[in-house]
A and B are shown apart, each in its own frame.
Chain A
């Protein structure tokens, strides 16, 4: 399988709480990206973190990357019902001239109002 591992597979939280999703992989990477997908729709890019970066912020999103552990996490703070979606990590593998992304299996987030 092309896919990396994401954890948890599903997450249900109350509005206002924080949501943390984790992603692990096995190869060397150029960068790791997080995408969001609403049911039946295309994917929307959220944030990109390069292999020489450890942490990145964008609004209510915080992404960390630990290349020694080959893992990343996405934190969504102060969640809203509109954050309900599937979230995917995707890696761009080192020495891949196509710059394609290899996606994880995703975390399905439900934010209860």
Chain B
């Protein structure tokens, strides 16, 4: 078990370009979360998957953002037509639902996006 991994760790892009981030959760975890964190702030919830179903989306997730979790394994977060305000750290976390779960989230190291 190598924990939650995210790729890429850093991405610099020009305004208007599309970017995609990937998250590989801990293999037996059925819940997956995406958060966004700006400098000096705590993480803000973006969206949540249980297995392959996207069950909740924050109003922070504009229509330029889309997330998928095909087959309930890895997840991708795509941002279309990036804006400078999208610059942030995008964090992925996973957890195990049910009585076997402890309630804690396991975070990856994050993908830092800089939009020029």
Contacts and interface: CB of A to CB of B under 8 A. Distances in A.
Interface string A9-20: 000000000000
Contacts of A88: 42-43
Contacts of A70: none
B108 A42 contact: yes
B62 to A, nearest CB: 16
B65 interface: no
A67 interface: no
Interface residues of B, number: 29
B28 interface: no
A44 B107 contact: yes
Contacts, number: 66
What secondary structure prevails in chain A residues at the interface with B? strand
A62 B112 CA distance: 32
Contact of B44 (A3, A30, A35): A3
Contacts of B97: 99
A63 to B, nearest CB: 13
Interface in A96-111: 97-106
Interface residues on A, range: 20 to 34
B91 to A, nearest CB: 6
A88 to B, nearest CB: 5
Given A98-B56, A100-B48, A103-B42, A41 B109 contact: yes
A48 to B, nearest CB: 6
Interface stretch (B14-22, B68-76, B98-106): B98-106
A99 B107 contact: no
Given A45-B106, A106-B40, 20 more contacts: A3-B42, A3-B44, A33-B103, A42-B107, A42-B108, A42-B110, A43-B105, A43-B107, A48-B102, A48-B103, A48-B104, A88-B42, A98-B31, A98-B48, A98-B55, A99-B31, A100-B48, A101-B45, A105-B40, A105-B41
7 contacts: A2-B58, A48-B103, A88-B42, A98-B55, A100-B48, A101-B105, A106-B41
